[in-house]
Amino acid sequence: MEKLQQFILSTLDKDESISDTRRLALVADADIPPPSSAEGQQAIQGALSSLSSREMVTFETHEDVSYALKPEGEQIAREGSHEARVWAALPAKGKGTPLSAKEIIQVVGAESAKIGQGKAIKAKWIEKDGAGFVKATDKIQDTTQLDLQEIQSSGTVAAGEKVLSELKKRNLIVLRKSLWYTVHKGPQFSTSVQKPETDLTVDMLTSGAWKTSNFKKYNFEAEGAPTSSGALHPLLKVREEFRNIFLEMGFAEMPTSQYVESSFWNFDALFVPQQHPARESQDTFFISDPAAALPPPKAYYQSVATVHEKGGYGSLGYRAPWSTEESHKLVLRTHTTACSAQLLRKLATQPGGFKPAKLFSIDRVFRNEATDNTHLAEFHQVEGVIADHELTLPDLIGFLHTFFSKMGLKNLRFKPAYNPYTEPSMEIFAFHPALNKWVEIGNSGMFRPEMLEPMGFPKDVRVHGFGLSLERPTMIRYGISNIRTLVGHKVNVDWVENSAAVRF
Ligand code: FB9
């Protein structure tokens, strides 16, 4: 680089200016590519911008557009166009046996025959004669070859754009853009490339050398050195948003780090009947080792078994035989509602009796379901439960309006739904302005007395529950259509690192 800079300065010193850097009498060597080459001009551009940053020179950039021949173009320039070669291979009309298509291939080759035959007929250079082809004219002008030869020598063709675009379309030529520069002395011109000082050192200060040193100008536009830092996965950014909404609404977070649950807490405590299809292995991941869970608190366990078998608290129950073995099966939790059940029981049995509470959880749940673009065998469930006296369904609807409006979802609709553990239950829909359509954004309901009363809740305590996923809002927020690009081995780490912050 310095050698190149020095050469430019001494040339300017000699010639006052450099009209065209491609004609610099530069002796190319190992580290200076020839000025006529693109690399050469690139090196020169680097040297010029460094010199101009110190105002030693000024320079203007010029761009030349030229064309170069592609391999097939070179072949035609050398041997003639396919159509000309076909013409040349044929006998003049009436002066020899017409050549069949097969014979033409043998003479000029498949490639040329395929392209040339059609073009020669269209150019009325050749014509059919019986089963074969003959010359239709005894003299032709192979303009394609001539044009390509002209481009080969001058980089362009006098015939102009129409011919160039035709040849480009035939993939015979390629556009070449080359940059070159005119250079003039700058206000700080000098013949020596003093490497500008980049740091103000103690010695300079003590020696006073700073007064005469030539400092490199600060480039305030320069990008700082990219600091590689960790990045939160977009799912965790959305999780943070949900956390903030819950915390600002007075919720406390439930511990959910235990993925393996007993069927008792994942199903029975939630009044999910032991014959419910969700408890089949095609929906749930069962644990083979250890084969059974530790028994839950005896009395509570018995009251749950009873409400399943015989009902109670105004319920008929399921009038189905209770299987202890079934309730002790271990599963990968299918919902964080299993955690809610345990926290709700603690709430009901805490010393000093029940106190109203709002609890939330955001963590992984596992479902042995067919995976597709929006469903994997695991996802993150976002769940909230609100326990208080005399809560009503309108309270729940009101709460959900407040909650989702914090996500920018103001326009909600509720559709009656069914969950074994809530009655009434509602699916929640929101009109998504950006998607301009109604989106199912979650599920909710009032936990059943068959679930709450065995836990020991006073009769007038009602508990709201609602849930949604983390993946769906994240996919919508980041415009992702395939969930596999969000989690798993196909995730693009750069995308994660550069993914924008979430602001619902
Ligand atoms: O997340 C879901 N949809 C959604 C949520 C937010 C969102 O935000 C956009 C930025 C605007 C967009 C979409 N759903 C729930 C709805 C559907 O995607 C649904 O097809 C898939 N559901 C999952 C379960 O799939 C089997 C999402 C998941 C879900 C469903 C229900 C619950 C939790 C998660 C629940 C519950 C519940 C009910 C009562 C009491 C306690 C918990």
Q: What is the pLDDT of residue 218?
A: 82
Mutational pocket test of ligand 1: of 436, 469, 481, the residue with most ligand atoms within 8 Å of the beta carbon: 469
Q: What fold is seen in the domain 2-69+173-185?
A: Arc Repressor Mutant, subunit A (1.10.10)
Minimal-distance CA residue to ligand 1 atom 35: 467
For residue 444, the CA-to-ligand 1 centroid distance in Å is 9
Minimal-distance CA residue to ligand 1 atom 29: 468
For residue 354, the CA-to-ligand 1 centroid distance in Å is 29
Q: What fold is seen in the domain 236-259+334-498?
A: BirA Bifunctional Protein; domain 2 (3.30.930)
User: Measured from the CA of 340, which atom of ligand 1 is nearest?
Assistant: 41
User: Measured from the CA of 425, which atom of ligand 1 is nearest?
Assistant: 39
What residue spans define the domains of the chain? 2-69+173-185, 236-259+334-498
b/e code 310-321 from CB counts within 10 Å (16+ = b) = eebeebebbeee
Q: What is the pLDDT of residue 374?
A: 81
Residue 334, ligand 1, Cβ within 6 A: no
In this prediction, residue 213 has a pLDDT band, given cuts at 50, 70 and 90, of confident
Minimal-distance CA residue to ligand 1 atom 32: 467
In this prediction, residue 43 has a pLDDT band, given cuts at 50, 70 and 90, of confident
Residue 199 to residue 208: CA distance in whole angstroms = 14
pLDDT digits (tens, 9 = 90+) for 86-121: 999 999 988 889 999 999 999 999 988 998 999 999
Query: Is the bond into 187 cis (omega within 30 degrees of 0)?
Result: no
Residue 465, ligand 1, Cβ within 6 A: yes
Minimal-distance CA residue to ligand 1 atom 17: 440
In this prediction, residue 318 has a pLDDT band, given cuts at 50, 70 and 90, of very high
Q: What is the pLDDT of residue 194?
A: 67
> HEC states along 162-195?
HHHHHHHHCCCEEEEEEEEEEEEECCCCCCCCCC
Closest CA to 451 of 234, 264, 226, 258: 264
Q: What is the pLDDT of residue 503?
A: 63
Minimal-distance CA residue to ligand 1 atom 3: 441
Residue 361, ligand 1, Cβ within 6 A: no
Residue 308, ligand 1, Cβ within 6 A: no
Residue 26, ligand 1, Cβ within 6 A: no
Q: Rounded to 5 degrees, what angle do the CA atoms 428, 431, 437 make? A: 115
Is residue 504 over pLDDT 70? no
For residue 1, the CA-to-ligand 1 centroid distance in Å is 61
What's the mean per-residue pLDDT of the chain?
91
Inter-residue contact 343 to 254 (CB < 8 Å): yes
For residue 270, the CA-to-ligand 1 centroid distance in Å is 18
Q: What is the pLDDT of residue 247?
A: 97
For residue 243, the CA-to-ligand 1 centroid distance in Å is 16
